[in-house]
Structure 1
Amino acid sequence: MDLAQLQDIKRLYKRVFSTDDGIKVLEDMKQRFFFDKSTFSNQPHEIAYNEGQRTVVMFLENMMTDIEKVEQMKQQQEALNE
Structure 2
Amino acid sequence: MENEVNPEEELKRLHAMYANFAQNAIGQIVLDDLKKRFHYNATTVKTGTIDPHELAYAEGQRSVVLFLIAMGEIGKQAEN
Q: Return the TM-score normalized by structure 1.
A: 0.73
Q: Please name the residue that 2:66 is paired with.
A: 58
Q: Does 1:19 align with 2:27?
A: no
Q: Return the TM-score normalized by structure 2.
A: 0.74
Correspondence list, 1:2-81, <5 A: 2-41=7-46, 42-67=50-75, 68=77
Runs of 4+ residues deviating >4 angstroms: none
- Give the residue type in structure 2 aligned to 1:33: F
Which consecutive residues of structure 2, in runs of 5 or more, have no partner in the other structure?
1-5
Q: Could you tell me how far apart the structure 1 residues matched to 2:29 and 2:14 are?
A: 21
Q: Could you tell me how far apart the structure 1 residues matched to 2:68 and 2:74 are?
A: 12
The structure with the greater share of residues assigned to helix is 1
Which structure exhibits the higher relative contact order, with contacts defined as CA atoms closer than 8 Å and separated by 6 or more residues?
A: 2
Aligned length: 70
User: How far is the alpha carbon of 1:3 from its aligned partner?
Assistant: 3.2
What RMSD in Å do the two structures reach over aligned CA positions? Answer: 1.9
- Give the residue type in structure 2 aligned to 1:34: H
Percent pairwise identity: 36
Which consecutive residues of structure 1, in runs of 5 or more, have no partner in the other structure?
72-82
